[in-house]
Amino acid sequence: MDYSTFPKIELHLHLDCSLSYHVVQQLAPGISYESYLESFVAPPKCTDLADYLTRAVKGFELMQTKEALRLVTLDLCDQLQADHVAYAEIRFAPLLHLQNGLTPTEVVQTVNDALAEGMAKTGLIAGLILCTLRHFSEAQSMETVELVAEFKGTHVVGFDIAADEAGFPIDNHVKAFAFAKEKGLHTTAHAGEAKGAESVWETLQNFRPSRIGHGVRSVEDPRLLDFLKQQSIHLEVCPTSNVQTNVVETIKDHPADAIYRSGVSMSVNTDCRTVSNVTLTHEYHVLQQEFNWHKAHFLTCNLEAIDHAFAPEEKKEALRAIIRKAYEA
């Protein structure tokens, strides 16, 4: 089955890790394709997550002006349209884009406006998730979550924590997630990627998000899988990325199928379209090849993604109709 033209839902996608060669050429005109591949695309196997994330640096270094932020956002909208993504939640860390004097508010406003422009052009429906990072201070985490509150009601739909969970404790971020809870903001959190099931437990207990970014190492603890089911916590699964970051040795070892069969809510995502050099169509193909997934699997994952999306119910209803029509045909 070819899923290239099927509508898809993507909940876990990093803006600064998804720059096409086309947009990088616009921002750094002298760059060759070979140099682009070397700097922006990770090898099939990295040492670990920290090694993989070194490729993200090149992306945000280029995204330090309003025009660069606009071009990268529009470029990603074009990529999503080409991949037949009907709804996407795009995440980025505003505080990484201040090197040329932009304020955090200007950064968010610029990406928010560019997303509106991209959606009007492509027909994509999308939201923005603002990320704090594991190595940030408590003040930086608070500044980020306060931006989510400030932009509530725009295309900004939620708050996340990303970066290397194995290298940094959660302490600096508890206050920000408590603020998000108090203000009724949607939250997701990276966990169960660079560290095992204990990092998912710790994240759930201290941050209380409704979704977990990755979370694939939850399979190491059957009690945790039961808890995720009981609490309807959604896992944003990114297969190829997990092989590259050495969470699993090969795609055959990936727990996506085990998670699906356990009944835990999950979706299929790309994580970093450029760093992992993938599309959502590619990820569907991989799961189809390795685990004999078919339309019913992808229908379920897409409907679960819609149920757990940070979107109003009327948008969800429209998306459910689009997905059902395609996958039940």
- Residue-level pLDDT at 167: 75
Mean pLDDT, rounded, for 111-140: 98
Return the percentage of the chain with pLDDT > 90, whole number: 94
Angle between the N-to-C axes of helices 295-308 and 313-327, in degrees from 0 to 180, rounded to the nearest 10: 180
Residue 97 forms part of a structural domain:
yes
Active-site residue, 304 included: no
Q: What residue ranges in the chain does DSSP mark as E strands? A: 8-14, 85-92, 125-133, 156-162, 186-191, 211-214, 234-237, 266-268
Q: What's the average model confidence in pLDDT over 227-239?
A: 98
Catalytic annotation, pick one of 10, 146, 193, 304: 193
Tokens of 171: 């302490």
pLDDT exceeds cutoff 80 at 256: yes
Q: Residue 247 is part of a domain; what is its CATH number?
A: 3.20.20.140
User: 233 in a domain, yes or no?
Assistant: yes
Give Cβ neighbours of residue 61 (< 8 Å, ≥ 6 apart): 99
pLDDT for the residue 103: 98
What is the number of domains present in the chain? 1
Q: Does the residue 207 lie in any domain? A: yes
Q: How far apart are CA 275 and CA 126, in angstroms?
A: 21
Residue 177 has pLDDT above 80, yes or no: yes
Q: What pLDDT is stored for residue 176 in this prediction?
A: 98
Instruction: Give percent of the chain with pLDDT exceeding 70.
Output: 100
pLDDT of residue 260: 98
* 194 pLDDT tier (thresholds 50, 70, 90): confident
- Per-residue pLDDT, 55: 86
Whether 91 is in a domain gets the answer yes
Q: What is the predicted pLDDT for the residue at 329?
A: 85
Give residue 164's pLDDT: 78
Within-domain flag for 2? no
Q: Is residue 282 part of a domain?
A: yes
User: If pLDDT is split at 50, 70 and 90, which confidence band does 254 have?
Assistant: very high
φ/ψ of 193, rounded to 5, equals: -120, -75
Indicate whether 1 belongs to any domain: no
Per the structure, the complete domain to which residue 191 belongs is given by 8-327
Interval 258-270 mean pLDDT: 98
Residue 146 — very low, low, confident or very high, per pLDDT cuts 50/70/90?
very high
> Is the pLDDT confidence value at 48 over 80?
yes
How far is the CA of 96 from the CAs of 88, 120, 136, in angstroms?
A: 21, 27, 11
Q: Is the pLDDT of residue 165 over 80?
A: no
Question: Would you place residue 148 in the very low, low, confident or very high pLDDT band (cuts 50, 70, 90)?
Answer: very high
pLDDT(221) > 80: yes
Sign of CA dihedral 181, 183, 188, 191: negative
Task: Say whether pTM exceeds 0.85.
Answer: yes
3, part of any domain: no
pLDDT of residue 326: 97
